[in-house]
Amino acid sequence: MSSSTGSNKLWGGRFSQPTHELVDQLNASLPFDRRFARHDIIGSIAHATMLGRQGIITEADAQAIVAGLRQVLEEVEGGTFVFDVADEDIHMAVERRLHALIGPTAGRLHTARSRNDQVALDFRMWTREAIATIALALLDAADAALRLGSRYATAIMPGYTHLQRAQPILFAHHTHAWAVMFLRDIDRLADAYRRVNVSPLGSAALAGVTHPIDRQLTAHLLGFAGTSSNSLDAVSDRDFVIETLAAFAVIAMHLSRIAEELILWTTSEFGFAEMADAFSTGSSIMPQKKNADVAELMRGKSGRVYGHLMGMLTVAKGLPLTYNKDLQEDKEGFFDAYDTVLALLRVLPPMLDTLTMRPERMATAAIGGFSLATDVADELARRGVPFREAHEIVGRLVAQCVAHERTLESLDAAEWAAVHPVFAETPPDVTLAASVNARDIPGGTAPRQVALAYQRAHDDISTWRARITDWTQALEQIDAVGSHVHR
Ligand code: ARG
């Protein structure tokens, strides 16, 4: 598109000088928003189709534009599309290429549209896919957590509070906790998806359009569940980015906590687990070292994901309605958060699948540290002693055991009788198995309850998988807009 002025920009009409080259570099978003290429083109195909059907442009022009856009899409997907920073952003790059392919008719595509509703559209389309991809990876991670627990279904480990041994638990109960953390992360993403899945097209620059467009039609062609209700809001809010980033930050936090546990468990001090060589690294000087670098990265990378959330909140906070160029800062952090979280979620399942647990070490640790003290107090309470009193009695008993280097399990019948008369007939059953079995309450660590919890988690995973597959199939239909309309 030539211009008679000094500017070669698509918007160059009112300009008599070209932009400074440093401004071009600062202003350009093409180096990163090229990730929207497919979404931008498919969005344009839907828009052009609508313009033709509404008689805003002729059917012939609409067909020429759509055919041209399809070719641009092929170039993008075939890797032959030339991304030139001089084009500023992906929207301009696509339009310029369309012009090169089909000539001045290309100029009709931008009727009843602005880059402001266009970029909001592209970003929403991209975010839908991102959410579906992360959700599927979360399902795989939840599955892997359950697989690990099932491999060591009978193993008992210490449960901790304050990182002090607290009460014995089934190891499988611990990994089930990881699985339900991931399932809630999916639920959070699904909630965000609902609000992302709204079409902003028709808002144009900020105030809507003067042409008789059909907003429902473009929304329908692009698989959106509805259309935005305010043009100002639609082009200027990025809360859908922020809430998706917030969901990513929670995922990163969960991954970081799991990573921290893996780091602890694989130390000689704990010795609960051994990481496969494939997921560990060595030291350049200390030949004996086997470090949990992968888990440490999983813990460390939470920092950058949180940072991107904070960055986006800060970018958005002072912006008057409507679009401001600050909003172009909405993409890189989000892309990086997505790439980071996805890479971590993908490495977790094979890492867990190759993890070797040491059930004997876990059992030894579980019995140590007087982890069964609560069970003794509970037994006193069951035999009629008020719990507060029972707590006091067992506390003194533990103190005596510590002083004499004894354990609760080693006490004989006479010693138990001396603890309290209710133990005279039958001493309490202080074993790991009894302790775990006794917590037979929904959500508790008794094997029966854990088995039920696994069933429910597997059911939830299947339900989510079906639902997310529905999303991805809907999104694939939209890709068909790129190949089927007018064909
Ligand atoms: N590259 C721009 C962005 O990412 C597209 C929207 C440009 N709109 C504008 N009024 N300059 O935000």
- CATH code for the domain of 312: 1.20.200.10
Taking CA atoms only, the protein residue closest to ligand 1 atom 12 is 328
The reply to whether 84 falls in a domain is: yes
Where are any strands of DSSP class E within 171-308?
A: 198-199, 226-227, 273-274
State in Å: Cα 97 to ligand 1 middle. Answer: 18
- Asked if 217 and 270 sit in the same domain, the reply is yes
- Of 249, 256, 259, 257, nearest in space to 185 by CA: 249
- Check pocket membership of 117 for ligand 1, CB cut-off 6 A: no
Q: Please report whether residue 439 resides in a domain.
A: no
CA of 478 to the centre of ligand 1 (A): 24
Same structural domain, 307 and 420? no
Q: Which atom of ligand 1 is nearest to the CA of 327?
A: 12
Q: Is residue 160 part of a domain?
A: no
Atom of ligand 1 nearest to the CA of 29: 1
Q: Choosing from 150, 283, 410, 483, which is the catalytic residue?
A: 283
Check pLDDT > 80 for residue 487: no
Q: Which tokens go with 213?
A: 């467009």
Same-domain check for residues 276 and 130: yes
- One DSSP character per residue, 66-80 reads HHHHHHHHHHHHHT-
Q: What is the position in ligand 1's atom list of the atom closest to the CA of 33?
A: 4
The protein residue with its alpha carbon nearest to ligand 1, atom 7, reads 115
Same domain, residue pair 106 and 120? no
SS3 224: coil
- One domain, residues 243 and 383: no
- CA separation for the pair 346, 78 (Å, rounded): 26
Rounded Cα gap, residues 123 and 118, in angstroms: 9
Is any atom of ligand 1 closer than 6 Å to the C-beta of 120?
A: no
Instruction: Kindly state whether residues 235 and 294 are assigned to the same domain.
Output: yes
The CATH number given to whatever domain includes residue 64 is 1.10.275.10
Asked if 7 is an active-site residue, the reply is no
127 lies in the same domain as 78: no
236 touches ligand 1 (CB under 6 Å)? no
Global pTM?
Answer: 0.94
User: Residues 106, 172: one domain?
Assistant: no
> Does 436 reside within a domain?
no
**Does 486 reside within a domain?**
no
Q: Which of 115, 241, 321 to mutate to test the pocket of ligand 1 (most atoms within 8 A of CB)?
A: 115
User: How far is Cα 384 from Cα 223, in angstroms, rounded to an integer?
Assistant: 64
pLDDT at 10: 76
CA gap 255, 386 in Å, rounded: 41
Express each pLDDT in 400-416 by its tens digit.
Answer: 999 999 999 999 999 99
In a shared domain, residues 132 and 92? no
Output the pLDDT for position 221: 95
CA of 79 to the centre of ligand 1 (A): 24
Using only C-alpha atoms, the chain has a radius of gyration, in whole angstroms, of: 31
Question: Does one domain contain both 278 and 384?
Answer: no
What's the confidence (pLDDT) of residue 14? 87
Of ligand 1's atoms, which has the minimum distance to the CA of residue 205?
10
Collapsing DSSP states into helix, strand and coil, what is residue 169? strand
Q: Residue 168's beta-bridge partner residues?
A: 158
Residue 440, in any domain of the structure: no
Same domain, 273 and 286: yes
> Is 283 noted as a catalytic residue in this protein?
yes
pLDDT tens-digit series, residues 233-292: 999 999 999 999 999 999 999 999 999 999 999 999 999 999 999 999 888 888 888 889
Domain count, the chain: 3
Catalytic-role residue among 4, 162, 229, 284? 162
Confidence of residue 445 (pLDDT cuts 50, 70, 90): very high
Q: How far is the CA of 446 from the centre of ligand 1 (A)?
A: 57
Least confident segment among 328-332, 462-466, 481-485: 481-485
Residue 97 in any domain: the answer is: yes
Q: Does residue 327 line the site of ligand 1, with CB under 6 A?
A: yes
- Tell whether 121 and 107 lie within a shared domain: no
Are the CB atoms for 468 and 135 separated by under 8 Å? yes
**Alpha-carbon gap, residue 455 to 194, rounded angstroms:** 28
Using DSSP bridges, classify how beta strands 273-274 and 356-357 pair: parallel, antiparallel or unpaired.
Answer: antiparallel
Is 445 within a domain? no
pLDDT digits (tens, 9 = 90+) for 278-302: 999 888 888 888 889 999 999 999 9
Q: What is the Å distance from ligand 1's center to 115 Cα?
A: 6
CATH number of residue 381's parent domain: 1.10.40.30
Query: What is the per-residue pLDDT across 426-439, written as a single tens digit (0 to 9) for each?
Result: 999 999 999 999 99
Domain assignment of residue 425, given as a range? 373-430
Task: Using the 3D structure, point to which of 81, 96, 111 is the last residue of a domain.
Answer: 111
Share of the chain above pLDDT 70, in %: 98
Whole-number pLDDT of residue 286: 86
CB of 119 shorter than 6 A to ligand 1 = yes
**Residue 442 to residue 451: CA distance in whole angstroms:** 11
pLDDT reading at 485 higher than 50: no
Question: Cα–Cα distance between 59 and 48 in angstroms, integer?
Answer: 9
Q: What percent of the chain has pLDDT over 90?
A: 89
Q: Across residues 1-27, what is the average pLDDT? A: 77
Q: Give the pLDDT score at 7.
A: 72
Query: Does ligand 1 have an atom closer than 6 angstroms to the CB of 116?
Result: yes
pLDDT surpasses 90 at 369: no
**pLDDT tens column, 182-241:** 999 999 999 999 999 999 999 999 999 999 999 999 999 999 999 999 999 999 999 999
Question: What distance in angstroms lies between residue 119's CA and the mean position of ligand 1's atoms?
Answer: 7
